Amino acid sequence: MKNSEQRIIDGLNEEQREVVTAQRQNILVLAGAGTGKTRVLVSRIAYLVEHCGVDSNRILAVTFTNKAAREMRERLIGLLGEYSVRRLWAYTFHTASSHILRNFAEEAGLTRNFTIIDTSDQLALVKRVMQDLNLPADICVNGIRYNSRNYLQKIMDEKSRGHRPGMEGSSILPCFYDVYALYQTRCDKSDQVDFEELILRTCELIESNPQVRHYIRLKFQEILVDEFQDTSSLQYRWLKLVSGIENLDPGKHPANVLIVGDDDQSIYGWRGAAVENMFYFQKEFSPVKLVKLVQNYRSTKAILSNANSLIKNNSKHVAEKTLITRNPDATMVKLMESYDSSDEADEIAKIIRKLIDNLKKDPSEIAVLYRTNAQSRMIEKAMVEYGVDYNIYGGARFFDREEIKNTLAYLRLIVNPEDNISFNRIVNVPSRKIGKVTLGKIEALRREFGISMFKAAEMYALKNKSRSLQNFIELIHVFSARVAESPKNMDDIVRFLESVIEDSGLGTYYREKSAMDDADSSNDRFGNIEELISDISGRDYDELSDQGFDNAGEVLEDGKEISKSRNTDDNSVPENKKMKYTIADFIQIYLSSAALMPSSELLKSEEDSAVNLMTIHCSKGLEFEVVIIAGFEKGLLPLERYSSIKTDQNAHIEEERRLAYVAITRAKELLFLSCANWHSSYDGQYPTGPSPFTYELDSCSIDTDMNFLDA
């Protein structure tokens, strides 16, 4: 029988074992595509617990997606057991920040029931702020039109740089800092936090509060960060603060930090990712052990040969590396050239038809990748003509559907009556005939007294006979009282949710809407609400306990008590001291989870056996037996539209080359690179031709022979 260490390292290659069994120190793992980094991370955590004596409750693993965190937990259960894994912190930056802020809510200027608002709610708030500042919905500056989305993006950009409204710089957007300041004031008064605020406020909390900083420093002994090349400057600042390398208390040692990343796969510069963070880490966390993972377990030699040949043309590398594989070489990479984009779409559909019919390929293992969403239109049309089932990976989130957002808005208002966005969303859903005049008067009261919309509505209802408004207020009061109760089991929560849906009128409203929809409609509105209830009741709420900070080994040296808002961990508190979770606690965890589900984790499909269509950005982290890259041509890859913007054009080309590299390395067995010589647009056709990246590929492992498809 294998001992525990052998069980952990069994099957790992030499470089992987070097990472897993390294002494406790700062480590940079340069992990190429398909080199098994997830297995290395999981094995490293198991090794720290089993052989280095690290309590799993002292380990923080930071991933970029909830899916990756779940996968990590699932793999660890097999190595460590459920108890240890339940105590482990394996979260995204945003979720980890949410847990820290809820534990130290008072110190952060929040309540434990603060609401996390998603992009659509942020946009609604910005629109209202602009209206209140008498700014038009569309503003023209130097012939360019800007709207609320531009203001929201700029606010998020400022936050990602750690800038508050008072730290004024320059902006082409008129009255931008007035919009930003009022937006943030409204969020603070409503006890609401947006995505970037989660991270920024956590940074500010640790920087400004010595007790919290000391407490967190004691909490985490080992920190592991996945996909480090995608971190922003604010996330890097967060890591330095949480690890203790920044503002370290005298005589204290920082946590050991292991980062895993691939500078060749850094493709999110447009949203703040800074590949430079990998270079900063080597300097600021020195000494740092560097280990390169280059053994690829995914792709054929022909595919990797082209990936290596392409990416070596970039000048900025943390360290040189060349991916290798022991996979048997198979078909060469195929280059396809069509007359125009319409012909290209037909060729792609025709090839997929042959892959399915002749080579018996599973449709779900085929992906068509493209640089821009606009490219999918012709491809979809061709798919229909050739009878190929397909799914668009990257459609609307389940949580963005109208009926789901309205149901969640009721729950948000019930647990946080200060939530103005939710009040405005559902006060008239279903219709209560509360007119614009009434809502305008409530809004006026809100402004005059600086209170929430719900409190203003209560004030208005005292002096005005609006039975429908009074009924709405009473409904929220009744359910706000009920959420303070402790459920005996999940059935109690289900019954509560069903009461909210029926008593609010949402049930009847969406049953009628579902009945009115076309028979062929795939969107069963009430069915979606039922699915939501099922999801809430089926969740693993162990997160309720492991989001806390336990007392074991963490008593402050000066004996001072941290805020009473801090939750304690079930595992460390005597049975008679355990907190009784309320319905509100369960709902709050779910609401946070829903809000923190990013666009990269959208519902993948409604058809399991269907070809996947997606942008290259959406494909990051995925793999398929067959990959077809559409539009591998001039103007699309690299994308030309940014060339007129005053930016570092070489940096842009290098990121586009990394994007092409990511697309190529998604393929396991077959890779097709497709281009058109002419591209159609609203103003006619213009010549394109092969991407300049084509001439950087390995010509010895590319051909145009498609005869194998007719086998």
Other CB atoms within a 10 A radius of the CB of residue 168 amount to 13
Where do runs of H (alpha helix) occur along 244-365? 277-284, 301-311, 341-357
Q: What pLDDT, on a 0 to 100 scale, did the predictor assign at position 581?
A: 78
Judgement on whether residues 312 and 170 belong to the same structural domain of the protein? no
Residue 571 has pLDDT above 60, yes or no: no
What local confidence, expressed as pLDDT, does residue 641 receive? 58
Dist. CA 422–CA 414, nearest whole Å:
10
The CATH number that applies at residue 178 is 1.10.10.160
Report the alpha-carbon distance of residue 228 to residue 213 in Å, rounded: 23
Contact 636, 691 (CB under 8 A): yes
**Are 406 and 528 in the same domain?**
yes
Specify the range with the lowest mean pLDDT, choosing from 51-60, 164-173, 402-411, 694-703: 164-173
Q: How much is the pLDDT for 250? A: 60
- DSSP letter, residue 172: S
Q: Which helix (H) or strand (E) holds 545?
A: helix 543-546
Q: Are residues 393 and 403 in the same domain?
A: no
pLDDT value, residue 374: 77
The two three-digit tokens of residue 660, written as one number: 């092409």
Q: Do residue 273 and residue 218 come from a single domain?
A: yes
Same domain, 166 and 94: no
Question: Domain for residue 376, yes or no?
Answer: yes
The Cα 16–Cα 10 span in angstroms is 10
Nearest to 596 by CA among 240, 70, 41, 60: 70
Average pLDDT over residues 158-181: 85
Query: Choosing from 158, 191, 226, 654, which is the catalytic residue?
Result: 226
Q: Which residues contact 539 (CB under 8 A, 6 or more apart)?
A: 589, 590, 593
| End residue of a domain, out of 193, 211, 240 | 193
Split at pLDDT 50, 70, 90, the class of 536 is confident
Task: Give the whole-angstrom CA distance, residue 474 versus residue 305.
Answer: 67
Q: Are 616 and 370 in contact (CB under 8 A)?
A: yes
Residue 211, pLDDT > 80, answer yes
Q: For this structure, is 640 an active site residue?
A: no
- Angstrom CA distances, 499 to 412, 473, 504, 591, stand at 15, 16, 8, 18
Are the beta carbons of 66 and 95 closer than 8 angstroms? yes
In Å, how far are 114, 159, 187, 202, 565 from 109, measured between CA atoms? 10, 17, 12, 11, 11
**Per residue in 433-450, pLDDT tens?**
888 889 999 999 988 888
Residue 568 lies in a domain: no
Domain boundary among 295, 322, 337: 295
User: Which residue in the list 15, 16, 35, 37 is annotated as catalytic?
Assistant: 37
Q: Is residue 552 part of a domain?
A: no
Residue 511's pLDDT band (cuts 50, 70, 90): confident
Q: How much is the pLDDT for 547?
A: 52
Domain region containing 148: 118-193
Whether the Cβ atoms of residue 423 and residue 453 lie closer than 8 Å to each other: yes
User: Burial level of 546, CB count in 10 A (0-12/13-18/19+)?
Assistant: buried
Q: Are 503 and 475 in contact (CB under 8 A)?
A: yes
- Range of lowest pLDDT (258-272, 404-418, 461-475, 566-580): 566-580
Instruction: Dump pLDDT digits (tens) for 97-130.
Output: 999 998 899 999 998 888 888 888 899 899 999 9
Q: Name residues whose C-beta falls within 8 Å of residue 110's C-beta, 6 or more positions apart in sequence.
A: 101, 191, 193, 201
Q: Residues 26, 70: one domain?
A: yes
pLDDT in tens, 345-402: 999 999 999 999 999 999 999 999 999 887 888 898 899 899 998 888 765 567 778 8
Task: Taking each helix axis as running N to C, give the angle between helix 583-595 and helix 402-415, from 0 to 180 degrees, rounded to the nearest 10.
Answer: 140
Q: What pLDDT score does 601 carry?
A: 45
Res. 247 pLDDT band, cuts 50 70 90: low
Cα separation values, 387 from 54, 258, 531, 611, Å: 55, 48, 30, 11
Tell me what the mean pLDDT of segment 526-532 comes to.
83
At 631 the pLDDT is: 92
Q: Are 247 and 352 in the same domain?
A: no
CA atoms within 13 A on the CB side of 253: 8
Residue 71 is assigned to a structural domain of this protein: yes
Mean pLDDT value across the chain: 84
Same-domain pairing of 606 and 693 = yes
Note if the bond before 363 is cis, omega within 30 degrees.
no
Count of domains for the chain: 4
Whole-angstrom CA distances from 104 to 551, 563, 599 are 14, 6, 28
Give the pLDDT score at 645. 43
Check residues 127 and 547 and name the one with the higher pLDDT. 127
pLDDT in tens, 602-654: 444 444 688 999 999 989 889 999 999 999 999 889 987 543 344 578 888 99
* Residue 129, Cβ density class (10 Å: 0-12 exposed, 13-18 middle, ≥19 buried): buried
Q: Does some domain include residue 512?
A: yes
Asked if 254 and 380 sit in the same domain, the reply is no
92 counts as catalytic: no
Looking at 666, 668, 669, 688, which residue is catalytic? 666
Give the DSSP per-residue string, 360-427: ---GGGEEEEESSGGGHHHHHHHHHHTT--EEETT---GGGSHHHHHHHHHHHHHH-TT-HHHHHHHT
- Grade residue 540 by pLDDT with cuts at 50, 70 and 90: low
Residue 510 sits in a domain whose CATH number is 1.10.486.10
pLDDT at 252: 67
Please, is 505 exposed, middle or buried when counting C-beta atoms within 10 Å of its C-beta (0-12, 13-18, 19+)? middle
Residues 280 and 353 in one domain: no
DSSP string over 439-453: HHHHHHHHHHHT--H
> Pick from 280, 295, 310: which residue ends a domain?
295
User: What's the CA gap between 79 and 7, in Å, rounded?
Assistant: 8
- Is the same domain home to 365 and 410? no
The answer to whether residue 446 is domain-embedded is: yes
Q: Is residue 281 part of a domain?
A: yes
438 has catalytic annotation? no
Look at the chain and count its residues. Answer: 711
Cα separation of 165 and 14, whole Å? 51
Quote the pLDDT of residue 696. Answer: 95
Q: Does the pLDDT at position 44 exceed 50?
A: yes
The dihedral through the CA atoms of 280, 284, 285, 288 has a sign that is positive
Bigger pLDDT: 264 vs 168? 264
* Contact predicate 589/543, CB 8 Å: yes
Statement: residue 5 has pLDDT above 80: no
Choosing from 95, 115, 229, 265, the catalytic residue is: 265
- In this structure, the answer to whether residues 225 and 160 fall within a common structural domain is no
Told to judge if 227 belongs to the known catalytic residues of this protein, a careful annotator would answer yes
Q: Which pLDDT score, from 0 to 100, does residue 560 have?
A: 46
Q: What residues contact 85, with CB distance under 8 A and at least 6 apart?
A: 56, 73, 76, 77
Q: In whole angstroms, what separates CA 103 from the centre of its chain?
A: 22
Q: What is the value of pTM for the model shown?
A: 0.83
Which pLDDT belongs to residue 556?
41
In a domain, 652, yes or no: yes
Provide the pairing of β-strand 288-293 with 295-296: unpaired
Q: What share of the chain in percent tops pLDDT 70?
A: 87
Query: Residue 523 — pLDDT band, cuts 50, 70, 90?
Result: low
Per the residue annotation, which of 118, 196, 227, 344 is the catalytic one?
A: 227
The catalytic position among 38, 331, 470, 568 is: 38
What per-residue string of b and e applies to 422-449 under the rule 16 or more CB within 10 Å gives b? bbbbbbbbeebebeeebbeebbebbeee
CA–CA separation, 625 vs 366, rounded Å?
Answer: 6
What CATH code is carried by the domain that includes residue 285?
3.40.50.300
Q: Confirm whether 666 is a catalytic residue.
A: yes
Please report, rounded to a whole number, the percentage of residues in the chain having pLDDT higher than 90: 47
